């Protein structure tokens, strides 16, 4: 998979993308993540990429020209399955969306900043807008990191255990069951006997029941969504 990220602050990605699962995925050649600084496409000698809003109001807006020049340059080299804009008014990121995106080959993610990007960019170039929650961040960079991590960990070969991602929360509209590790007893707190029984059938049953119960208590809306899908 190829993921191109357009940002004003490529340095922000150095830490998150150079540790743990994302680092291993890149080292294995399972994903190439390319960072592009939009400022490299501005004609302004001071590398200015923002300006005041027409009609007045507080805040600056990313200008149409440098962003479009950047997008057109990259599109001349790569055919993208989706050009994604990280936006608080986009569709809410879900596991279903991450699953869909993990099947694609070439993604481009545009990180907004300031008050956002000129609307003409959204109308002409953006194929999908994604939000990671109903709140506003200073820019789209951290949201792009979340999307990238959610997608990359689903690629075949990224996780050491291929079945691990399949048991994550939200894969089947259920929260994950409780998990335990050694020791089997700690300060009087014991691991459920069924997990120590070696009975795979009973363990699977117990985990499913626990997932249902946890979802009912914490996120009952997920069960409603599951019912609507049938």
Q: How far apart are CA 13 and CA 110, in angstroms?
A: 14
Residue 90 lies in a domain: yes
CATH number, domain at 203?
Answer: 1.10.1270.20
Q: How far apart are CA 99 and CA 72, in angstroms?
A: 27
Question: pLDDT (tens digit, 9 = 90+) per residue, 171-195?
Answer: 678 999 999 999 999 999 999 999 9
Residue 63 lies in a domain: yes
pLDDT at 160: 78
Q: Verify that 74 and 178 share a domain, yes or no.
A: no
Q: Verify that 129 and 218 share a domain, yes or no.
A: no
CATH number, domain at 95?
Answer: 3.40.1280.10
pLDDT at 173: 84
What is the band of 220 on the pLDDT scale with cuts at 50, 70, 90? very high
Of 90, 124, 152, which closes a domain? 152
The strand pairing partners of 32, in sequence order, are: 2
Q: Verify that 25 and 95 share a domain, yes or no.
A: yes
Answer positive or negative: Cα dihedral of 177, 181, 183, 187: negative
Task: State the SS3 of 21-46.
Answer: HHHHHHHCCCCEEEEEEHHHHCCCCC
Asked whether the predicted pLDDT for residue 164 surpasses 80, the reply is no
Domain with 116, as residue range(s), is 2-152
pLDDT at 84: 98
Q: CA-based angle 110:114:118, to the nearest 5?
A: 60
Asked whether the predicted pLDDT for residue 145 surpasses 80, the reply is yes
Question: pLDDT (tens digit, 9 = 90+) per residue, 64-108?
Answer: 999 999 999 999 999 999 999 999 999 999 999 999 999 999 999
Domain total in the chain: 2
Of 152, 179, 212, which closes a domain? 152
Q: How far apart are CA 98 and CA 154, in angstroms?
A: 8
Of 119, 152, 185, which closes a domain? 152
Q: Verify that 111 and 203 share a domain, yes or no.
A: no
Its pTM stands at 0.87
Residue 160 lies in a domain: no
Q: Verify that 117 and 211 share a domain, yes or no.
A: no
pLDDT at 172: 77
């Amino acid at each position: 998979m190829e993921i191109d990220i357009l940002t004003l602050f490529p340095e922000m990605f150095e830490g998150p993308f150079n540790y743990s699962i994302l680092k291993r995925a890149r080292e294995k050649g399972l994903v190439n993540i390319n960072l592009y600084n939009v400022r490299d496409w501005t004609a302004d000698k001071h590398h200015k990429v923002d300006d005041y809003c027409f009609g007045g109001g507080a805040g600056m807006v990313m200008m149409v020209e440098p962003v479009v020049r950047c997008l057109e340059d990259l599109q001349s080299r790569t055919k993208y399955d989706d050009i994604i804009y990280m936006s608080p008014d986009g569709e809410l990121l879900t596991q279903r969306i991450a699953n869909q995106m993990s099947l694609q080959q070439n993604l481009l993610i545009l990180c907004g900043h300031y008050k956002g990007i000129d609307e003409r960019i959204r109308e002409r170039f953006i194929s999908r807008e994604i939000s990671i929650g109903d709140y506003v961040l200073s820019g789209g960079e951290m949201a792009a990191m979340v999307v990238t991590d959610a997608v990359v960990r689903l690629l075949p070969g990224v996780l050491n255990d291929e079945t691990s991602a399949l048991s994550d929360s939200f894969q089947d509209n259920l929260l994950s069951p409780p998990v335990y590790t050694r020791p089997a007893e700690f300060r009087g707190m014991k691991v459920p006997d069924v997990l120590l029984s070696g009975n795979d059938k009973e363990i699977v049953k117990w985990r499913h029941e626990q997932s249902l119960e946890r979802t009912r208590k914490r996120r009952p809306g997920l069960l409603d969504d599951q019912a609507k899908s049938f």
